[in-house]
Amino acid sequence: MQWCKASQCIASMHKKISAHGLAYMSRKIKTMTLHINSKELKKEVTENLNLLLVHFKTEWNGACQILAPVYDDLANSYKDIAKFFMIDANKNKTVVHQYGVTKIPTILFFKEGEVIDRVSGLASKSIIISKIENALTNTNN
């Protein structure tokens, strides 16, 4: 009898979490982050000499869901200085292998067509900011 009540409670909690748990994901937030595919990424990397960040993600990965609003916030903060892109790792496996992405989420930092830095896994906003600032100030990259 106790188990049935507990399972009903868990089912009820699951419905609430599903409906309200990640509400920020369903809000319409104006962002400077663009979703691209491997063909568009190649064009952007080769034609852009400034700082470019690419977030390799999947829809189902919890760490990607946590990192997405942080990445969007940084894209808005640095919109006049750097370009921010997202690419679905499941739909673009060739480019995932091309850049040696082995962990999701991964953010690659490009400058003058070359990968100059990367962050893999769930990184804090301060770590990503530090890497952005380093890329912007280091002219040897």
In which domain, by residue range, is 79 found? Answer: 24-137
Specify the CATH number for the domain of residue 71: 3.40.30.10
SS (H, E, C) 75-125: HHHCCCCCEEEEEECCCCHHHHHHCCCCCCCEEEEEECCEEEEEEECCCCH
Q: Which helix (H) or strand (E) holds 72?
A: helix 62-77
- How many CB atoms lie under 10 A from the CB of residue 9? 10
Q: Identify whether 3 is part of a domain.
A: no
Tallying the residues shown for the chain, one arrives at 141
Q: Identify whether 18 is part of a domain.
A: no
Q: Identify whether 65 is part of a domain.
A: yes
pLDDT, position 17:
41
47-51, 123-127, 129-133: least confidently modelled range: 47-51
Structure letter (DSSP) for residue 55 = E
| pTM of the predicted protein model | 0.75
Question: Cα–chain-centroid distance for residue 116?
Answer: 17
Question: Cα–chain-centroid distance for residue 11?
Answer: 31
Q: Identify whether 2 is part of a domain.
A: no
Q: Identify whether 35 is part of a domain.
A: yes
Q: Identify whether 41 is part of a domain.
A: yes
Q: Identify whether 15 is part of a domain.
A: no
pLDDT, position 114:
94
pLDDT, position 41:
87
Q: Identify whether 92 is part of a domain.
A: yes
**Residue 58 Rama label (left phi>0; alpha psi -120 to 50; beta):** beta
pLDDT per position as a tens digit, 8-64: 444 444 444 444 443 333 333 455 678 888 889 888 888 888 999 999 999 999 999
Average pLDDT over residues 63-70: 94
pLDDT surpasses 50 at 124: yes
Question: Cα–chain-centroid distance for residue 133?
Answer: 18
pLDDT surpasses 80 at 6: no
Count of structural domains, the chain: 1
Average pLDDT over residues 70-99: 94
